[in-house]
Homo-oligomer: A and B are copies of this chain.
Amino acid sequence: MSGSSFGSLYRVTTFGESHCAGVGAIVDGCPPGLSLTEADIQTQLTRRRPGQSKVNTPRDEKDRVKILSGTENGVTLGTPIGLFVPNEDQRPKDYGEMSRIPRPSHADFTYEKKYGVRASSGGGRSSARETIGRVAAGAIAEKWLRETFGIEIVAWVSSCGELDAGAVCPETLTRDEVDQNIIRCPDPAAAEKMIERVTALREEGDSIGGTLTCVVRNAPVGLGEPVFDKLEAKLAQAMMSIPATKGFEIGSGFAAATMTGSAHNDAFVMKNGRLGTRTNHSGGIQGGISNGEPILFRIAIKPPATISRAQPTADFDGKDTVLEAKGRHDPFVVNRAVPIVETMAALVLMDMALIQRARR
């Protein structure tokens, strides 16, 4: 319960902050006999790292993962898998005035109050580097889910500020299609406008939020553990634990609030020999349990809190001041969240799949 573990049968424990030796995770409960090398994990880590495009921060972190334990000759042993990514800059940084001024909408203030001590980098584990451990652990889960059930998980940027992606087909969309532009919006026209918008905001020293949609295809029927660990409940926890997330929707989401039952109900119908539903307002989950339809959810991500524009605020002593962040900062992070969301979804699904397997 001490916050850094997730899952029960496939349990991930992450560690590390910005300026220590590194970040990583222990995966306990990975089934033995899975073929696994560092390359299997690196793909998603590389998609996650900054410095990939002009719409993100130009820091170039290498983020090469090393498997510390749990495999031999490229096969998992069933023992804990240690995963480690060294930090490039391991010295506590001098964050200067930031140590006096809690950054607005950041974790500086709450970490200080909760722990009574604070890493020089400010918010400790609220750093985006924390997500490296999750992504590495989730990349292994993705591989197992793919090989065991043919599960495919694809997330994409569905909006940037007021700009929405146009029609996207969640039944067929691939990661390659998502990655074909730097903002990871599979609608090329919308992507272009988004890039313009983000580039302009970067010039202004400002940032912008957005939404991200994710589909899980080929999940077996029966995943999810009512009543507290319903599939959408664990997905919601997983997604809302990602830095900067502000909202979660499954299927029809908030739109369901404006609908009538007769319009919202998903009628059953025969589909390729299985009982499916005509519509999918349920988002692939009924009664907290996957029903065989694509699992569809959407996440709101706030604009990055670190902006270079001057911000009037107060210091730790409550004295009014103005904060001016130095350096260059990410004006938009939704595209970088894509692999984080996919791998967090994999962590939830894999744990649920193992639990359900024990039941039969």
A256 contacts B209, CB within 8 Å? yes
**Nearest residue, chain B, Cβ from A110:** B289
Contacts A2-B29, A13-B80, A241-B228 given; indicate if A300 touches B253 (C-beta within 8 A). yes
Contacts A241-B228, A260-B207, A264-B105 given; indicate if A114 touches B253 (C-beta within 8 A). no
CA distance A126 to B105 in the complex (A): 38
B1 contacts A9, CB within 8 Å? yes
B26 contacts A26, CB within 8 Å? yes
**Shortest distance between the CB of A138 and any CB in chain B (Å):** 12
Q: Does A294 contact B (CB under 8 A)?
A: no
**Shortest distance between the CB of A35 and any CB in chain B (Å):** 11
Q: Does A142 contact B (CB under 8 A)?
A: no
B227 contacts A125, CB within 8 Å? yes
Indicate the size class of the contact surface on chain A: 35 or more
This chain: copies in complex: 4
**Nearest residue, chain B, Cβ from A251:** B246
Q: Which residues of B contact A78 (CB under 8 A)?
A: 114-117, 124, 359
Task: Summarize A's interface: helix, strand, loop or mixed.
Answer: mixed
A302-336 contacts to B, CB under 8 A, are 302-307, 309, 311-316, 318, 320, 331
A114 contacts B358, CB within 8 Å? no
A69 contacts B21, CB within 8 Å? yes
A287 contacts B249, CB within 8 Å? no
Q: Tell me which of B92, B230, B265 contacts A104 (CB under 8 A).
A: B265
**Nearest residue, chain B, Cβ from A120:** B72
A162 contacts B258, CB within 8 Å? yes
**Shortest distance between the CB of A57 and any CB in chain B (Å):** 14
Q: List 7 A-B contacts (CB under 8 A).
A: A8-B8, A68-B84, A77-B115, A80-B125, A107-B288, A249-B300, A267-B312
A302 contacts B257, CB within 8 Å? yes
Q: Which residues of B contact A358 (CB under 8 A)?
A: 9, 354-355, 357-358
CA distance A237 to B309 in the complex (A): 35
Q: Which residues of B contact A105 (CB under 8 A)?
A: 261, 264-266, 281-282, 286
